[in-house]
Amino acid sequence: MAHAGQTGFSEAAKALVGEAYDVFKYIAIGKGTGQGASDTTLADECDETGLTRVECDSYKTITTTIANDTAEFVHTFTCGATGATVTECLIGNSGTLDEGDKLIGGDLVPAAVMTSGKTMKITATCQVKAA
């Protein structure tokens, strides 16, 4: 993933102090490019069958440098009858198309050409560490 989403910072901070927050557990893919840290949505989020925003198959902490310092999000998409060329991805806290706060997101290189029945597994990580 290319960048952290600025809108996700407030939700992450709320979690640190025990205030009410929305859990980052949703993944979305899209057909656009060039989204930056201040963007809250994908350039062109997929709405094709099997490629829509969903709750990740799994989300948990893993160890990168110190114990449990990284959030890992994993999901496998299976394309329906209508395909798409997937070029972007985000992890967010809403299951609704083009809504919510973005934790992380970025362009996928290379792009994935999805056709009927084809699967694509995405693993995204977000490490919590000093800059």
pLDDT tops 90 at residue 23: yes
H-type alpha helices, 23-107: none
- The helix (H) or strand (E) run that includes residue 8 is helix 8-17
What is the per-residue pLDDT for 3?
A: 60
pTM comes to 0.90
Average model confidence (pLDDT) for the chain?
A: 91
Average pLDDT for residues 35-60, to the nearest whole number?
A: 93
Cα(44)–Cα(34) distance, integer angstroms? 11
Model pLDDT, residue 56: 98
pLDDT band (50, 70, 90) for residue 20: confident
Q: What is the pLDDT of residues 91-110, one digit of tens each?
A: 999 999 999 989 999 999 99
- In contact, 107 and 55? CB cutoff 8 Å: no
Considering only residues 97 and 6, tell me which one the structure prediction assigns the higher pLDDT: 97
